[in-house]
Structure 1
Amino acid sequence: MRPVYLVEGVRTGIAKSGKRSWFTNVRADDLAAMVLNEVLERAEVTGKKREQVDDVILGGTYLQKEMGSNIGRMAAVMAGLPYRVGGCTVDRLCGSGLQSIAFGISSIAMGWNDMVIAGGVQHMTHIPMFTGVDPNPRLDEFCDPKMVRMGYTAEMVARKFNISREKQDQMAVESHAKAHRATEEGLFKGEILPIEAEVPLKEGGTKKMVVDRDQGIRPGTTMESLAQLEPVFMDDDKATVTAGNSSQTNDAAAAVLIVSEDKLKELGLKPKMKLVGYKVVGVDPALMGIGPAAAIPKVLQQAGMTVDQIDLWEINEAFASQALYCAEELGIRNHPLLNPRGSGIALGHPLGCTGARIATTIMHAMPDYNAKYAVESMCIGHGQGAAAIWEWVG
């Protein structure tokens, strides 16, 4: 197979979904089109060079309304790419953004394409979680039917593996502190595309604001403030999962530019990182959150690598209970570069975008930490886990 490289990556700020989302008045397809254009601009693929893009692959889920009608294709058209450039949309729930990147890399490695833009987008303000979902009434013949609610699976992981409320809240405090510190130090500036938006005001009306940071980070988060929150997914005396130790729902988009080695040389582009291995596995749907602990050993084996060879770890915090279990199971809970800039609890989890967002963050973070290898992983709704190993080549 042909060598393939990631040249550039960019994302929007991550807005917190709801009536006061910074992106309430920006559509998902507009967000996607903006990052498609920006990733080409930053890679200096401009003018006639844009005509050499072969395909656009975007991750997303709950594909209805503005997220429907193949948003991957619509965003490509709205970005002003030539009509001949194709576009498609991929839904692997929380792993959609990463899966889109993997598909783009695969198509180039096989010689079918030379330059692909891949990424993800989600607008959970306009299309809330579970919109249009109609679980089959026969699910109980195959699995625990309550697994369709991700919060329930987080509770199941906490109970099965004795992940205490205190441990979960501690991870949440750490996530917000890391994300706030990274924001204050300007560590996200290189990856975020500033976007001017009409932002809702608490007292009514809107104001123009340049969205160049993430909305959900709460720097004042403490163990004491989190302890006041009630569990939200179950209400018995064993319940430990709260809004404070869970990821947020969000609005955001991200994209990366993927290029063959030959096209790199032809256009004079500089590579930044490449994919060493990628693996998706299935797990018990009721224990959805353990996915990374199952996928990461598989991708390490695939690559002929071991845990101690990985310099930087990004395991999405869908819930603190599952992220903690995975980190402890892998023996990396105290690794100095485990989610060093925060993760889903603080930054948010815009489902279809998250995998592309993490890849973009890794791309910008690896040189800062002198990291050679990084792992990206996430649990995936309905009982899956995905993991990728990235190598810095810049």
Structure 2
Amino acid sequence: MKDVFVVEAARTAVARAGKQSWFTNVRADELSAIVFKELRKRIGCEDKAKQAELIDDVVWAATANAFMEQGLNQGRLAWILSDGSYDVPGCTVDRFCASGLNSISFATSTMMAGWGGDVQIAGGAQHMSHIPMGAGADVHPDLGNYMTLAAINMGYTAEIVARRFNVGREAQDQLAMESHLKCAAAQAANGGLGKAKDAIIPIMAKVPAKSAKGEVKRDGAYVATDHLAKAAAEKGEELVEFCVARDQGVRPETTMESLAAMAPVFMQDEQATVTAGNSSQINDAAAGVVLATAEGAKALGKKPVMKLLNFAVIGLEPDIMGIGPVLAIPKVLKRAGMTQDQIGLWEINEAFASQSVYCRETLGLPKEKVNVWGSGISIGHPLACTGARIACDIFYMFQDPDYADVEYIVESMCIGHGHGAAAIWQRVK
């Protein structure tokens, strides 16, 4: 078995989906193409002949709504859109919220087995502004005989977790506020460029004038095509040029009082506790990593930063899909022959505060070591991108002096329809 390392990682900013999204005029396949271009630049593979020689495959994620601009085979077509070599193949995978992480696991596994060459690119993208979650779905008429159909809506499952495990509204709002405060602090670091400054690819885009606030100008920005912007301008929409170089959804002004004022969304009875404020956002983004064996890293002239030590997925009752990390994390630790006390940081996606509170408390995780730069509630949860976004940020956490003594970081998430996934990332010394 070969060792496989992550030698580069990059992502777009995470835009908040909707009419005011900073990426409302940039498509999912173009976001993916920009990530491909940047990763090739960072590994010195802009020459097509070199791409054909070194890059064995592209494993990309597009989930929940793999049609329209996310359809056909986004991994392959976005690679071509990026002006990548035709000789490099590409595929697209789906495990809903864990798709971006699973694409990395799939690529790593084939490379470890000697079936995937010495260099691959893996990651994922999601554009929830253009393709709302659930669009185009057609559920089999008999599915309701085997699961609660309401559980297809993940907000419903957040309410069930809160009720079944007695997670109160105040605890949920507290976690949500802390997520925004951690994310705001991370964005304020490095003179306002943010902790993720080396991760995020700056993109010049035409954005709605109302949303053009808090711009962080960066050199070397890619310029998004204007196909959608022209159509929007013709409809009379006011647009401005804006450098998208930070995550859009963070709300530094969040308080317990502002969260308490928000009405429940998914259920409206007297027990309802899940609001837009203590739920993850819907988002638009893309993220990817470059994987290489020792031979591949040498050929690229890149130093390995981290490796995927182990990976696990697990199934569970769809009604309580949010507790997935509580089951997946012990499974992956057991596979690796490790214990929780060996883990320095925990990146557990915040799909909803109800499930996040339950997972953190049930596993006994210290708050100060969980989601140190924020997570789904503050950064966002662009489904197929999330697992790759987290891996990308972990890549830079391992290079942050604040975490110089951390050797292992766990990445985990719950997954819609009753899954959990977990991975252990190890620093390469």
**TM-score normalised by the chain length of structure 2:** 0.90
Name 2:233's counterpart in structure 1: none
Show the 5 A alignment for 1:245-256.
Answer: 245-256=278-289
Distance 1:153 1:137, change over 3 A: same
Q: Quick one: which of 141, 153, 161 aligns to 1:157? A: 161
Structure 1 counterpart of 2:138, one-letter code: D
CA contact (8 A) 1:289 1:379 kept: yes
Name 1:379's counterpart in structure 2: 414
Show the 5 A alignment for 1:311-350.
Answer: 311-332=344-365, 334-350=366-382
Show the 5 A alignment for 1:180-191.
Answer: 180-185=184-189, 186-191=194-199
Show the 5 A alignment for 1:62-101.
Answer: 62-101=65-104
Name 2:218's counterpart in structure 1: none
- How far residue 313 of structure 1 moved from its aligned partner, in angstroms, is 0.4
> In 1, distance between residues paired with 2:399 and 2:243?
27
- How far residue 329 of structure 1 moved from its aligned partner, in angstroms, is 1.0
2:319 matches 1:286: yes
How big is the alpha-carbon RMSD for the aligned residues of Structure 1 and Structure 2? 1.1
Runs of 4+ displaced beyond 3 Å:
none
Q: What is the number of equivalent residue pairs in this alignment?
A: 393
Name 2:232's counterpart in structure 1: none
Q: Secondary structure of the residue that 1:202 maps to in structure 2?
A: helix
- How far residue 298 of structure 1 moved from its aligned partner, in angstroms, is 0.2
1:189-213 deviation per Cα after TM superposition (whole angstroms, max 9, x unaligned): 1110000000012394100001000
2:44 matches 1:44: yes
CA contact (8 A) 1:312 1:366 kept: no
Q: Quick one: which of 130, 147, 160 aligns to 1:143? A: 147
Show the 5 A alignment for 1:1-394.
Answer: 1-47=1-47, 48-51=49-52, 52-61=54-63, 62-112=65-115, 113-185=117-189, 186-202=194-210, 204-332=237-365, 334-368=366-400, 369-370=403-404, 371-393=406-428
Q: Which moved more, 1:182-191 or 1:379-388?
A: 182-191
CA contact (8 A) 1:279 1:386 kept: yes
> In 2, distance between residues paired with 1:43 and 1:245?
39
> In 1, distance between residues paired with 2:57 and 2:124?
14
Mind listing any 5+ residue stretches in structure 2 that lack a counterpart? 212-236
Structure 2 counterpart of 1:55, one-letter code: D
Q: Secondary structure of the residue that 2:123 maps to in structure 1?
A: strand
> In 2, distance between residues paired with 1:45 and 1:167?
48
- How far residue 295 of structure 1 moved from its aligned partner, in angstroms, is 0.1
Percent identity of paired positions between Structure 1 and Structure 2: 55
Mind listing any 5+ residue stretches in structure 1 that lack a counterpart? none
> In 2, distance between residues paired with 1:109 and 1:314?
24
